[in-house]
Amino acid sequence: MSEPERTGHGRRIAVVLDTNILIATGFNPNSHAARIVGAVRAGRLRMVWCEETRRESERLLRKIPPLSWSTFADLFSEDTRRSERIDPSAHKEIPDPADRVFAALAHAAGATLITQDDHLLANRSSAAVPYLTAHEFVRFELRDDRDTRRREDPSRLTPETSSEEETG
């Protein structure tokens, strides 16, 4: 993936959002996670994803009844998709194979991984890219950007019922 784009406020940071960040946003629109999702939607952050991370996020969001996949599907913009192969096997120190995919994507994209997962955070000292909690990311990366202080609009997080979600 190319060098992060430049914006009027500085660099547009590439991030990989672990599914737990989306879940936290769905449950608390005033959370640090929601602030990060709001910054992605506003174009201030560039959320990098691959088919494996999108599939895992969709699978988990569909399993949690108060949440809706359709609420977050727009974050997976085709222009930020990484289609090149990633190598999760290079991250065997991470016990959960699903977590390895997020770590491998962040490494391949040179992106910051934002997560609340203890297994990932336990390995951040040896990671080639930053692994940060939502709180840490907001504190260190979004601290001075007034435009990203806006939180996720709670009305956006209202689950939409659809026959696809009920059966999927």
Per-position pLDDT tens, the chain of length 168: 333 343 344 568 999 999 999 999 999 999 999 999 999 999 999 999 999 999 999 999 999 999 999 999 999 999 999 999 999 998 988 989 999 999 999 999 999 999 999 989 998 998 999 999 999 999 998 865 444 444 555 444 444 434 344 444
Helices (H) and strands (E) in the chain, counts: 8, 6
Phi, psi of 72 (to 5 degrees): -115, -10
| Range 11-167: architecture per CATH | 3-Layer(aba) Sandwich (3.40)
Phi, psi of 100 (to 5 degrees): -60, -35
C-beta of residue 82 within 8 angstroms of C-beta of residue 49:
yes
Q: Quote the CA–CA distance of 58 and 56 in Å, as a whole number.
A: 5
CA angle 134, 139, 143 (to 5 degrees): 125
The single residue listed with the structure tokens 């359709």 is 70
Q: Quote the CA–CA distance of 161 and 86 in Å, as a whole number.
A: 34
C-beta of residue 73 within 8 angstroms of C-beta of residue 40:
no
Going by the DSSP 8-state scheme, the letter that residue 64 receives in this structure is S
CA atoms within 13 A on the CB side of 117: 24
